[in-house]
Amino acid sequence: MIIKEARFISSHTALANLPKPNLPEFAFIGRSNVGKSSLINMLCNQRTLAKTSSTPGKTQTINHFLINNLWYLVDLPGYGFAKTSKKLKNEWAGFTFDYLKKRPNLLCTFVLIDVRHEPQKPDIALMEWLATKEIPFAMVFTKTDKLTTNHVNTHVASYKHFMLETWESLPEIFITSAEKKRGKEDLLEFIDQVINSK
Ligand code: GTP
Ligand code: MG
C-alpha cells in the first residue's frame, strides 16, 4: 500500500461530531509522548500533518486524517501524563474509551509502546481492557532508533515474555522508528490486509 494523499479532516471530543463511520478506520493510542503523532506523519510522508511536540500532552482531541480518500487514520490523546489536571484526564479517558468501544468502523487500534521502557501498568491495563472488550489491536514499539538493534531485540523479547506469563497469545507486533522511517512498509501492508479482509 502506498499513501498518495493524506488530509486532515477534523478534531473533536464529542463522538456525535466525528466523521460518518462509512470508511475503514485505524487508531493510534499510547502514553503521552510515545510518538503517536510522529508515527502518523511518518506513515503519511508528511512532517506536520499531525501536530507533535517534545512536551507530553500535545494531542488532546480525536483527530481524523483521510488517506487516499479511502480510509481514516486517527490520532488520539495520550495517557499517563502526570501534569494534566484530573478533570482533563477524566475527560480524555471518557471520550477516548467511548470512541474505542463505540466506533463501528474502527478495524484495528495500534497500541504504541516506547521500546526503551519495561512493561508499564497503564499500557498493560489498556491492552487487557481492549482484549476484554474484543476490540482488535496490535502493538507498536516506537523510538527504536534510540537503542542498538541488539537492545531493541532484547527489550521486545522480554516484553513478550512478560506478557506471555498472563496472555495465551500475543497480538501482531511492529517495530518502528518515526525518525528512521522504520516499520512503515510492515504497518501499511498490515493495514492493507485488514482492509481487504473485510
Ligand atoms: P501526545 O500527543 O502528547 O500524546 O504525544 P505523541 O504520542 O503524539 O508523541 P509525539 O509524536 O508528539 O512525539 C513526542 C516526542 O517524541 C517528539 O519530540 C518527537 O520528535 C519524539 N519522537 C517521536 N517518535 C520518535 C522516534 O521514532 N524517534 C525519536 N528519536 N524521537 C521520536
Ligand atoms: Mg500526539
What does the DSSP assignment read for 24-59?
-EEEEEEBTTSSHHHHHHHHHT-SSSS---SSS---
Q: Which cell goes with 29?
A: 493510542
- The pLDDT assigned to 137 comes to 98
In this prediction the pTM is 0.96
195: enclosing H helix or E strand: helix 184-196
In this prediction, residues 71-99 reach a mean pLDDT of 83
Query: pLDDT at residue 191 above 80?
Result: yes
Q: Which residue has the higher pLDDT, 87 or 159?
A: 159
Taking the C-alpha atoms of 127, 44, 24 and 92 in order, what is their torsion angle to the nearest 10 degrees?
A: 50
- The pLDDT assigned to 87 comes to 75
- The pLDDT assigned to 21 comes to 97
63 lines ligand 1 (CB under 6 A): no
- The pLDDT assigned to 89 comes to 73
Sequence-distant (6+) residues with CB within 8 A of 171 are: 127, 137, 138, 139
In the Cβ-directed half-sphere of 191, how many Cα atoms lie within 13 Å? 27
- The pLDDT assigned to 55 comes to 85
172 lines ligand 1 (CB under 6 A): no
Ligand 1 centroid from CA 34, angstroms: 5
- The pLDDT assigned to 48 comes to 93
- The pLDDT assigned to 82 comes to 64
Please give the domain boundaries of the chain with CATH numbers for all domains.
8-196 (3.40.50.300)
Ligand 1 centroid from CA 28, angstroms: 12
- The pLDDT assigned to 66 comes to 98
32 lines ligand 1 (CB under 6 A): yes
Cβ(28)–Cβ(110) below 8 Å: yes
- The pLDDT assigned to 83 comes to 67
Sequence-distant (6+) residues with CB within 8 A of 72 are: 9, 19, 23, 24, 25, 26, 64, 65, 66, 105
Q: Is 70 helix (H, G, I), strand (E, B) or coil?
A: coil
Ligand 2 centroid from CA 155, angstroms: 24
What are the tens digits of pLDDT across the range 135-176?
Answer: 999 999 999 999 999 999 999 999 999 999 999 999 999 999
What are the tens digits of pLDDT across the range 24-68?
Answer: 999 999 999 999 999 999 999 999 999 998 888 888 899 999 999
Distance, in Å, from the CA atom of 36 to the CA atom of 126, rounded to the nearest integer, reads 16
What are the tens digits of pLDDT across the range 101-133?
Answer: 999 999 999 999 999 999 999 999 999 999 999
Site of grid cell 489498556 = 126
Q: Which residue has the higher pLDDT, 136 or 94?
A: 136
Residue 71 is which amino acid?
A: W
Query: pLDDT at residue 15 above 80?
Result: yes
Q: If you average pLDDT over every residue of the chain, what do you get? A: 94
